[in-house]
Amino acid sequence: MCGIIGYTGADDIVRALAGGLEKLEYRGYDSAGIAFAEHGRLRVIKSVGRIALLEEKLADVRTDARCGIGHTRWATHGRPTEINCHPHLSFGKKFAVVHNGIIENCRKLQTLCENRGITPVSDTDSELIAHLLELNYEGDALSAVRRTAAMLEGSFAVAALCSDAPDEIYAFRRSSPLIIGVGKGMCCLASDGCAARAERTYLLGDGQYARLSSRGAEFFSHGKPAAPKRIQTADAGSCERGGYAHFMLKEIHEQPEAAARTIEAVGNRRLRGEVLYLGCGSSYNAALAAIPLTERGTGAEAHAVTAGEFLFSERVNGRGKTAVLLSQSGETADTVAAAEEAKRRGYATVSITNVPRSSLTRACRRNILTHAGPEISVATTKGFTSQAAALAALLTGAEEEDAVRRLPFAIERALGCDGDAKAVSELFASCRTAFFVGRREDCGAAYEGALKLREITYVPAMGLSAGELKHGTISLVEEGTPVVLIHTDPALKDKTLLTAATVRARGGTVIAVTADDEVAAACDFTLRIPFVPPLLSPAVSVVPLQLLAYHAAVRMGRDVDKPRNLAKSVTVE
C-alpha cells in the first residue's frame, strides 16, 4: 500500500528520497513522487509506474535542498495518473503533503474547501489535507498541523513540508503507522522500519504529531510536548536481497529459521475451546489448513471465515469463544476491523501476527507473534509457514511436541525439491489454467498453492478440495491441464489414487506433492516432501508450491516481488 518517506539532514535530498522510495517498493504501488523546498518554493516531481521511471526524471535534478518528502501510491481514490500521484500541493503552494490511509470524511472536507473557493485538481482524498493545512495556517505550521489533524476522520499517516520552513518536516498520524528515525545531524520518517533506519527509531504515537529537522525531532500531543515510543526496527540485512535473485526466493529459504523462531516463541502457550479463525488471503488459507488440527487439539468445532465477510455476517454472540485473527503485516484493514467486531460480539480475541505494535496487536486482547522477520516480497511465503508453525505449536499436545520441533528440519528438506519444481514449472508457464487439490489439511495448502501461482504469474489457478473436483470443475480439465495433487495422510491414499486416475483419464497432467511412493508412481511428476504427521504438514507441503509458482513466474518474465495491482498490506477495507 502507499508508503511515505521523509529526510532532513546533510545528504543530497534527491538521492536520499530516491533511496528511501526503493526501500518502500515492496509494499506495492503504481506511481511515486517527491517534494522539497528550493529557494522558498516547493518543487514536486512525480511519475506514474515504477520508481525507475521517477529516477530517470530525477537523474538531472541538481538542488541545494536538504529536506524533502516522498511517496509511493497504490491507487484507491482515482486512477494512477500523475495528477493523483503524491506529493500534493495546497492551493497557494504553501504546503506539500504525502498521505497513507483513507480520509473517511473527504466528501465533507471537499465541500468545505469548495465553499472557500478551492477546487481540488486530483481525485484523491489526500489533496484535501494539503488545502486544509494552508487554510489553517496563520504563520505557525505546527498549529496548522494540529488543527488539520483534528478535522480528519479515518486512518492517516501524513508528512508535510511548508515553504516557510524549508528545513522542517511535519508529521502526524492516526491508525496508520509512521516511524521516525533520528541520527547525528539528520532525521527521517517512513511507513516502515525497512526505510527508516537511523541511530534511534520511534513510533509516532496515535494522535501525536512531530516536527523534524537536522537538529532532531520534537513530538507533541494536544499542543504539549509528548514522549515518543522508542522501537527497534529491522536490521539492515533483513531488508536486502542478500545474493538471491528475488526477495521471494530469499524468503522461501528463510522459512526453516522463521518456523524455528516462531515455535520457540510460542513455548507452552496453547489454544483452547471453540475457535473462529479470521484473516485474508494467505492468512485465511493458513487458518483453513489448521482446522482439522484445531478440532483435534481443542476437541471443539473450528471455523475459518475471511475477515471481510465476517464483518457482514450474522451478529452471533461470541461469548465463551475465541476469535483468532491472523495477519502477517498486522495492518490489513479487514482483519483489524474484524478484531474490533469480534470484541463487540463478545469473543476473546487473539492475534497471530508478524509485526509487534501493529494495528492488529493493539486491537486484540492477547497476541502471539510469529518471528519470520521482515517480509518484502508481496507474495507471502515465510509469513504463511510461520503462521502454520505457530498454529502447530499452539494446538499439539505433549505427544507431538517433538514432531513440532522437527518441523523446521522438514521445511528445510522440502526445499530440496527446488530443482524438480523448476523443471515442472514449465507446465505452468504455458497453461491456460491450473488446479491445486487436496483433502482436509491438504485442501488449505492447495488454496495457498493456487493463490501463489495466481498472484505472481497471473495464470488462472484454482485451489479446491480434491473431492469437489468431480462436482463440476473437472469439466475444465483437458489435455495437458496441470493438476497439483497434495497428499500427506496415508489414511486417505485410496481417495488420492482415485483422484489422480480420474484426472489422468481426462488428459490432465498430475503433479504429486507427497512423501508416498505409491502416490508418486500413480502421477506424472512428483515434488517430494518428507513425511510429517499429516495434521502438521501444511508448513511443509506448501514449500514445493511456492517454488513452483516462483519458477513459473521467473520463466514468464513476471515482476516476481511486485506483481501488478497488488499491495503488500491492504490497509483499506
Which residues are annotated as catalytic?
A: 2, 568
Q: Which of residues 101-130 bind ligand AGP (CB under 6 A)?
A: none
Confirm or reject binding of residue 378 to ligand AGP (CB under 6 A): yes
H-run or E-run covering 445: helix 441-457
- Give me the sign of the Cα torsion angle 305, 311, 312, 317: positive
Nearer to ligand AGP, 356 or 419 (CB): 356
Confirm or reject binding of residue 455 to ligand AGP (CB under 6 A): yes
**Dihedral through CA 509, CA 514, CA 516, CA 520, nearest 10?**
20
Smallest separation, CB 252 to ligand AGP (Å):
12
Confirm or reject binding of residue 463 to ligand AGP (CB under 6 A): no
Smallest separation, CB 277 to ligand AGP (Å):
12
Task: Work out which of 1, 239, 379, 552 binds ligand AGP, going by CB under 6 A.
Answer: 379
The total of other beta-carbon atoms located within 10 Å of residue 208's CB is 23
- Scanning 66-74, 132-140, 148-156, 372-380 for contacts with ligand AGP by CB under 6 A, the matching segment is 372-380
Nearer to ligand AGP, 136 or 380 (CB): 380
Nearer to ligand AGP, 328 or 509 (CB): 328
Confirm or reject binding of residue 359 to ligand AGP (CB under 6 A): no
Task: Please give the full DSSP string across 221-270, using - where no structure is assigned.
Answer: ETTEE---EEEPPPPGGGGS-TT-SSHHHHHHHTHHHHHHHHHHHHTT--
Tell me the residue number closest to ligand AGP, measured at CB.
Answer: 281
Confirm or reject binding of residue 370 to ligand AGP (CB under 6 A): no
C-alpha grid cell for residue 550? 516462483
SS3 103: strand
Confirm or reject binding of residue 281 to ligand AGP (CB under 6 A): yes
Query: Which residues, including other chains, have CB under 8 Å from residue 374's CB and lie 6 or more apart?
Result: 193, 194, 234, 238, 239
Task: Please give the full DSSP string across 133-184, using - where no structure is assigned.
Answer: HHHT-SS-HHHHHHHHHHH--EEEEEEEEETTSTT-EEEEEESS--EEEEET
Smallest separation, CB 367 to ligand AGP (Å):
14
The answer to whether the beta carbons of residues 451 and 463 sit under 8 Å apart is: yes
Nearer to ligand AGP, 157 or 515 (CB): 157
SS3 424: helix
Smallest separation, CB 308 to ligand AGP (Å):
10
Nearer to ligand AGP, 412 or 455 (CB): 455
- Scanning 2-10, 276-284, 288-296, 425-433 for contacts with ligand AGP by CB under 6 A, the matching segment is 276-284
**Selection from 264, 529, 539, 532 nearest residue 400 by Cα:** 532
Confirm or reject binding of residue 335 to ligand AGP (CB under 6 A): yes
Task: Work out which of 45, 149, 280, 485 binds ligand AGP, going by CB under 6 A.
Answer: 280
Smallest separation, CB 370 to ligand AGP (Å):
10
Give me the sheet containing 67-73, strands edge to edge: 41-48, 31-38, 67-73, 3-8, 186-190, 179-183, 200-203, 229-231
Can you give the length of the chain in residues? 573
- Scanning 117-125, 151-159, 226-234, 374-382 for contacts with ligand AGP by CB under 6 A, the matching segment is 374-382
- Scanning 150-158, 209-217, 375-383, 414-422 for contacts with ligand AGP by CB under 6 A, the matching segment is 375-383
Confirm or reject binding of residue 569 to ligand AGP (CB under 6 A): yes
Binding residues with ligand AGP: total (CB under 6 A): 16
Task: Work out which of 380, 386, 496, 571 binds ligand AGP, going by CB under 6 A.
Answer: 380
- Scanning 240-248, 366-374, 376-384, 518-526 for contacts with ligand AGP by CB under 6 A, the matching segment is 376-384
Smallest separation, CB 307 to ligand AGP (Å):
8
C-alpha grid cell for residue 113? 474547501
Task: Work out which of 90, 191, 201, 282 binds ligand AGP, going by CB under 6 A.
Answer: 282
Cis before residue 408, ω within 30 degrees of 0? Answer: no
x/- letters, 309..328, toward ligand AGP (CB under 6 A): ------------------xx
Q: Which amino acid is at 532?
A: V
- Scanning 55-63, 99-107, 255-263, 278-286 for contacts with ligand AGP by CB under 6 A, the matching segment is 278-286
Smallest separation, CB 2 to ligand AGP (Å):
15
Q: What is the 3-state secondary structure (H, E, C) of 357-407?
A: CCHHHHHCCEEEECCCCCCCCCCCCHHHHHHHHHHHHHHCCHHHHHHHHHH
Nearer to ligand AGP, 176 or 328 (CB): 328
Smallest separation, CB 372 to ligand AGP (Å):
11
The answer to whether the beta carbons of residues 133 and 95 sit under 8 Å apart is: yes
- Scanning 341-349, 378-386, 429-437, 475-483 for contacts with ligand AGP by CB under 6 A, the matching segment is 378-386
Task: Work out which of 191, 201, 332, 499 binds ligand AGP, going by CB under 6 A.
Answer: 332
The CA angle 424-429-432, to the nearest 5 degrees, is 115
H-run or E-run covering 487: strand 482-487
Confirm or reject binding of residue 191 to ligand AGP (CB under 6 A): no
Rounded Cα gap, residues 321 and 317, in angstroms:
9
The total of other beta-carbon atoms located within 10 Å of residue 52's CB is 12
Nearer to ligand AGP, 208 or 282 (CB): 282
Confirm or reject binding of residue 358 to ligand AGP (CB under 6 A): no
Smallest separation, CB 450 to ligand AGP (Å):
11
Smallest separation, CB 171 to ligand AGP (Å):
24
- Taking CB atoms within 8 Å and a gap of at least 24, the contacts of 551-559 are 551/421, 551/422, 551/425, 552/425, 552/426, 552/428, 552/429, 552/453, 552/456, 552/457, 552/459, 553/456, 553/457, 554/245, 554/246, 554/425, 555/425, 555/426, 555/429, 556/429, 556/457, 558/456, 558/457, 558/458
Smallest separation, CB 283 to ligand AGP (Å):
4
C-alpha grid cell for residue 480? 495437458
Contact residues toward ligand AGP (CB under 6 A) are 280-283, 327-329, 332, 335, 378-380, 383, 455, 569-570
